Structure 1
Amino acid sequence: MNEPAVKLTVLYPNTPGSSMDWEYYLGPHIDLARRLLTPFGLQRIEIERGLGPGAAPPFHAIARLYFLSAAALQDALAQTAAALSEDVRKYYRGESVIQISEVVPV
């Protein structure tokens, strides 16, 4: 199996007034993401739940979505970004941050 070459990272900052509905996020939203993105080459999704350091973690969550190529990711975003962005409002109050990265094997 080919290793993913690019990663879409979505960070959900834990800022004043922000909130995260984990039940919706881990259920309906992740199901929607898989359904929409798998036809475009989504390889896997990893979710991190913030724990710290300290009482409040800097991020509620960090999502990592892996694709085989930058072209596949770009196609996926072009076709699905509107639907996925609309769904974000159902589980997160705040401004998310998105980064696209090359996966560098070490």
Structure 2
Amino acid sequence: MALSLQVIYPITDDTHFDYDYYLGTHMPMVGEHMGAHIASVLVTKGLASGPDAPPESYAVATMTFADQSALDAALGAAGPVVADIANFTNTRPQMLIGEVIA
């Protein structure tokens, strides 16, 4: 069963997000530490939350995994990646782990 991990970076008052650092440093770090276990990665930059509504999230990173053991291995290697979050944002990321059903 394929699984996904989504990391959602919500926009709240007094938060910031450095897209250049995120794409140029953080995502390569994800590849270095977790990449061997990841089947695919998609990063989406928030543009809107609906018609004429500002985005509620800076970005969403979606990673897919072949199975639970691959997800577990990636999470086990994620320590440096998690520690790096403070280098590009002060928002509190939300995580969603789910079963890929479509």
Question: Root-mean-square deviation (CA), in Å?
Answer: 1.4
- What is the deviation of 1:85? 1.0
- What is the deviation of 1:79? 2.4
- 1:98 matched to 2:95? The reply is yes
Percent identity over paired residues: 27
- What is the deviation of 1:88? 0.6
- What is the deviation of 1:76? 1.3
Matches of 2:86 and 2:56 in 1, distance apart? 20
- 1:6 matched to 2:7? The reply is no
After superposition, give the CA deviation of every residue in 1:23-71 in whole Å (9 maximum; x if it has no partner).
00011111010111122x2111101111113453110101101111111
Taking structure 1 as the reference length, the TM-score comes to 0.87
Task: Name the residue aligned to 1:16.
Answer: 13
Matches of 2:17 and 2:53 in 1, distance apart? 16
Task: Name the residue aligned to 2:67.
Answer: 69
Matches of 2:63 and 2:96 in 1, distance apart? 11
Taking structure 2 as the reference length, the TM-score comes to 0.90
Stretches (4+) displaced over 3 A: none
Matches of 1:18 and 1:55 in 2, distance apart? 18
